Structure 1
């Protein structure tokens, strides 16, 4: 959301109900030096600040050490956890090796999306009494329902069996909440999105970049239907987003960029291919004291995926050093090395390391981290030009946005929903390949999934693709994936303690 968050963030977090864990007393707000819930939600300014707070948890896609992208990459066949050692981030290491349990799963994967749910719930209750014009109020309601659907989609995909909470609850009620069937959660996601879509704008102004649009909510609904295996409904929604002619500008204004590499240019925010974008800024002065709290606004994936101790050699890109998470597997390297998207996706440091070793005296181009392959995720590698000089911690203030949904993704999702057959599916697949100069190949579900792996590598989609298509158990067997267990995460122990929540099967 391209707005001045700093103006609102402290007051918003002080008065908006959040769920850090089920054991937190999230209704008791200290009124000394702050604003209580009863005294808040009175003015249009209050409503806007609360709307901002409902958007803030969406940054978990790429913000904070426990972000979705690096975590989900680590559990796929395309990346390892990496980092400095086998103990560098217990959760990401355990997920990569399928030893994740209730004690080592980061609790934020549960609490942060619920924070978004709770922030949306309370504003939905309070909005009728706030003096706003009806058009603004209607749009806010649509955005809040769309956001709630987004957060529940993350929760149900990650955990399967989650509480479905649609109104603010009291402290005592926290301990009596029970889980809903996944089908109930999906039904509510559908309901929220179908109610939101008619009241969301088609066009988002530059000052509002990052807010939900009609196209973003429609794309999300199509994706939800596909996960439910409602393929006809998924194809219909995704066709609205993609437009009648794949490759041409859609009615919502979406169009594939002509150059794949332009997707990763840091300044190319909210481009024509972007459907739902997670915004980051270098102006938030994020620091270690509140990193990962929701107040930080930088992109943490950038520093996480960079090579450690980087020493620039002749002809090498000018990179700041990183933490060496998510090294690219040899399997993905071999799969993508002849593809035109390789250079934009993978940074191969090994030739530069050979150059460094040939010097007199020998030196290193980088320091090999844990599970090092020499291949790094170039889509998110920052350049020295991206390094900030603000007052915050430099590694936490990169400003590259990330895509939660982009057009090539929805093209391939629609082709899949169509069963991987027919002229429309072929045209959608061809459009993605034509953009990078590849010839047509006969459309099939296998061809579509291969294209998704090449096109979306490192963006956090691969693990979900393997799980929802039933391929995870075979593809990830060598990692320790167990069918009937690892398709969802364990519920964090802190959420189970003294509550009626039941742990997921086999954990």
Structure 2
């Protein structure tokens, strides 16, 4: 598909921009007209590549809407998680984003606007493929054209599914809209999910299947496996648990996907995990020296800085594991970290791949003051580390906002894994943009089995759940298929991979959402701050209730089950009815 890249840029401009009607008859040199395009297999491949490229960059970066610090897709699906605090430098940082997390956002908040815009931009590009490669227009379609239409159809279905999950009744858009079109709301969330499932069924006969778990190309394009996973997720949201179970079981039985080994869990969401056996679908980001050198629009413009630890408030690091410099926008909540440790144990593969404790930051990373022959740990000859004031950890006059002594490791760049390419002022993150991995398929299947009244598939559901627990190295392994255990595993395994809050809403488990942001203390170093004889965690709770004291925070039943349609969309579309209690 790469050979069509330059052609696609011109096609994208042709189909998505307006022009003066008086100039429409003036031939443009080097531009292919719409009437002459959408004719051949090559045109179909080119148009489909626009779908992949445009969807990818709009999911990962939308500077004109959400700014340069994060991508709309990650923000929409993770910034509202009750298991990670929006931190940054403090109350004046991450303002719209923290409002989104604490359920005090309005209908013009940037986070929902970015996600909503990204999905409908993708739908537009999908419709250009689906609507132009038809038997009505061309008489007959080749196998290549049918495959391209099918892949676009699945992407469009995925977009609508996500819109349905977050907004409930988004307009189902199946044509290329004109300026006069006013699409109306879908009948119901259930209707959206059934439409998604039906679209997948139309696409399946024409899709290719991943060849094997080692097939890289099959991980970075839309296949039968991804399509069935989307169908299963949509039916899970519809409440058709038997239908979801059957669709997801086909993915499992295909044998095309495998969980990464326990010792490689730290590859997940990182460079070494690109196209791995666990990937069901992710957008490809290829670094080509001298040709494609800046992957910022593919991996998130400033993601390295945004999610990396807030190093400016710490002593100088000289560590090969992680890139220095960062703004620390997200930290695991103390409750999440403690619950993960209680469930898995400190030594579990998952705990070590997902989060770091402050002690690990202090003693298992090399600081500038450490000798050249530094080794990890703080025992024996390394005992000096515990009392070297100012040489490591959070500086005396600094703190880490919204932190109880735990740090993200899952979503920060691992330099020693080849995550960072030294291009651009902050470097480029060498990773693909993941949409779904096999662990989610297994957990959705386990839930579907647990939610159905019949028990014939309970053994298979338990096996799927156990596969996740055993790979994690968890101290807790279920002996019966229990919905509570499935929910817990979804929380731990899929942390910061999206949909935590909406799943809690779907299950009716919203109590903890009412308390989001009510307690957000700061982390200081006990020794450096003068509150201890050794380096360690000192929790400064003096302003921990700032957000609760200042704002009306927390989930409100009857309102926050769905996001508001963006004010901009409602103002421009008289056919779009706002969600309840958002007018």
- TM-score by shorter chain over 0.5: yes
Match of 2:272 in 1: 267
Which of residues 202, 213, 216 in structure 1 aligns to 2:223? 213
Q: Distance in 2 between matches of 1:3 and 1:433?
A: 39
Are positions 1:57 and 2:90 aligned together? no
C-alpha displacement of 1:84: 3.2
> Is structure 2 residue 167 aligned with structure 1 residue 159?
yes
Which of 328, 334, 356 does residue 347 from structure 1 map onto?
356
- Name the SS for the 1:178 alignment partner: coil
Matching residue within 438, 447, 453 for 2:485: 447
Residues 13 and 403 of structure 1: CA distance in aligned 2, closer, same or farther (over 3 Å) = same
Show CA shifts across 1:200-226 (max 9, x none): 111266456511111110111011110
- Equivalent in the alignment of 1:387: 420
- 8 Å CA contact retained: 2:76, 2:115: no
Are residues 413 and 99 of structure 1, via their aligned partners in 2, closer, same or farther at CA, if it must alter by over 3 Å? same
Counterpart residue number, 1:190: 197
Equivalent residue, structure 2, for 1:22: none
Number of aligned residue pairs: 481
**What is the match of residue 10 of structure 1?**
9
The one of 466, 489, 506 equivalent to 1:430 is 466
CA distance in 1, matches of 2:361, 2:197: 50
- Name the structure 2 match of 1:504: 579
Residue matched to 1:147: 155
Q: Which has the higher contact order (CA 8 A, sep 6+)?
A: 1
Q: Separation in 2 of the partners of 1:147 and 1:404?
A: 11
Q: Deviations over 1:193-251 (max 9, x none)?
A: 111112111126645651111111011101111010100111111111112xxxxxxx2
Give the distance between the partners of 1:26 and 1:171, measured in 2 at CA: 13
Residues 223 and 74 (structure 1), Cα distance of their counterparts in 2 relative to 1, 3 Å cut: same
Match in the other structure for 2:505: 467
Cα distance, 1:343–1:134 mapped onto 2, change above 3 Å: same
Q: Name the CA distance, whole Å, in 2 between partners of 1:193 and 1:387.
A: 36
1:355-388 superposed Cα distances (whole Å, 9 cap, x missing partner): 8894355564587554244433211211334332
Moved more, 55-64 or 75-84: 55-64
| 1:298 maps to 2:373 | no
**Bigger Rg, structure 1 or 2:** 2
Instruction: Tell me how far apart the structure 2 counterparts of residues 170 and 265 of structure 1 sit (CA, whole Å).
Output: 40
Separation in 1 of the partners of 2:195 and 2:142?
25
TM-score by length of 2: 0.74
Distance 2:399 2:287 in 1: 28
Greater displacement, 310-319 / 485-494: 310-319
Comparing 205-214 and 117-126, the one that deviates more? 205-214
Q: Is the 2:299–2:433 contact (alpha carbons within 8 Å) kept by the matching residues of 1?
A: no
1:139-182 Cα offsets, whole Å, 9 max, x none, are: 01111110110110111111112111111122112xx3221223
- Alpha-carbon displacement from aligned partner over 1:258-310 (angstroms, at most 9, x marks no partner): 223343441231111111223334554449xxx7xxxx223454442211226
Aligned-residue Cα RMSD (Å) equals 3.1
Alignment deviations for residues 299-342 of structure 1 (CA, whole Å, 9 cap, x no partner):
45444221122656587833232221221100101011252111
Retained in 1: the 8 A contact 2:61–2:72?
yes
Segment of structure 1 superposing worse, 182-191 or 218-227: 182-191
Unpaired segments ≥5 residues, structure 2: 63-69, 370-385, 517-553
State the partner residue of 2:43: 46
Deviation at 1:89, TM superposition (A): 3.9
Q: How does 1:205-284 map to 2 (within 5 A)?
A: 206-207=216-217, 209-243=219-253, 251-259=254-262, 260-282=265-287, 284=292
2:335 corresponds to: 331
1:202 and 2:209 correspond: yes
Q: 1:8 to 1:359 in 2, by over 3 A?
A: farther
Q: CA separation in 2, counterparts of 1:90 and 1:161?
A: 28
Aligned-partner SS, 2:407: strand
| Distance in 2 of aligned mates of 1:322 and 1:13 | 35
TM-score (norm 1): 0.85
CA 1:273–1:401: 2 relative to 1, 3 Å: same
Aligned match of 2:409: 378
Cα distance change on mapping 1:272 and 1:386 into 2, 3 Å: closer
1:60–1:445 CA distance, 2 compared to 1 (3 A): farther
| Distance (Å, rounded) in 2 between the aligned partners of 1:403 and 1:87 | 31
Q: State the distance in 2 between where 1:78 and 1:493 align.
A: 28
